[in-house]
């Protein structure tokens, strides 16, 4: 079952990349979070796109980081063995030990998988952080708190599209004045007032 899920995810990524290549002439770098760090996905991506994947800190990654000095950065070629058919695939793993983050004023250990032969280790964290804009976008959307227990895909798609519409209106017209959460609350209050006024007629 686990292999089936991973194979499906890898297949979906390939399908999406093929669609995107029809719209964009060049995709420089695919940024993926730790949940995409798998042999199957790496094998699929090695032949279709440059990628940077945030690596989960399993025992092997932790041991490598523990052997490094504070502030040290290095990259190593790592070989994976595919248990089912014996194929072997490779990826570069970049290790960065106790790197200071100016935003949080904390030190962090980092590990990334990539198929790039030449990697600027001084810029790799900054490149990966670009994808955090996606996470921030979803956090903003979640503030709309539109909830439904319906399993009907049409209902769920409508609610998703409605959230997108709300966010687009806020971003284009009100983002400099109020937070998205405040905008949603005021929209809700205005709609409630309109409904109540209509019922009184």
What 8-state DSSP symbol labels residue 118? S
Do residues 94 and 78 make contact, with C-beta atoms less than 8 angstroms apart? no
Do residues 45 and 11 make contact, with C-beta atoms less than 8 angstroms apart? no
Q: Which residue has the higher pLDDT, 66 or 170?
A: 66
Residue 182 CA to its chain's centroid (Å): 26
Q: Can you read off the two tokens belonging to residue 184?
A: 């949603």
Length of the chain: 201
pLDDT > 80? residue 135: no
pTM above 0.75, yes or no: no
Distance CA 18, CA 84 (A): 26
| Among 76, 12, 75, CA closest to 40 | 12
What is the predicted pLDDT for the residue at 81? 72
User: What does DSSP say about strands 106-114 and 30-32: parallel, antiparallel, or unpaired?
Assistant: unpaired
| Among 77, 129, 76, CA closest to 99 | 129
Distance CA 132, CA 138 (A): 10
Tell me the β-bridge partners of 13.
none
Q: What is the pLDDT of residues 74-120, one digit of tens each?
A: 999 988 776 666 678 889 999 999 999 887 889 999 999 999 888 88
């Amino acid at each position: 079952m686990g292999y089936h899920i991973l194979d499906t995810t890898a297949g979906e990524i390939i399908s999406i990349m093929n669609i995107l290549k029809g719209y964009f002439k060049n995709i420089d770098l695919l940024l993926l979070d730790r949940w995409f760090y798998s042999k199957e996905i790496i094998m699929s991506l090695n032949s279709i796109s440059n990628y940077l994947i945030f690596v989960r800190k399993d025992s092997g990654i932790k041991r490598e980081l523990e052997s490094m000095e504070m502030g040290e950065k290095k990259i190593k070629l790592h070989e994976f063995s595919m248990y089912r058919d014996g194929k072997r695939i490779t990826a570069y793993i970049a290790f960065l030990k106790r790197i200071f983050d100016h935003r949080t004023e904390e030190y962090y250990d980092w590990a990334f998988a990539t198929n790039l032969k030449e990697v600027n280790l001084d810029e790799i964290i900054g490149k990966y952080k670009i994808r955090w804009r996606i996470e921030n976008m979803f956090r903003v959307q979640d503030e709309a708190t539109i909830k439904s227990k319906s399993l009907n895909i049409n209902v769920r798609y409508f609610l998703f599209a409605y959230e997108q519409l709300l966010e687009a209106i806020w971003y284009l017209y009100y983002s400099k004045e109020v937070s998205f959460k405040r905008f949603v609350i005021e929209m809700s209050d205005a709609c409630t007032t309109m409904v109540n006024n209509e019922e009184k007629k």
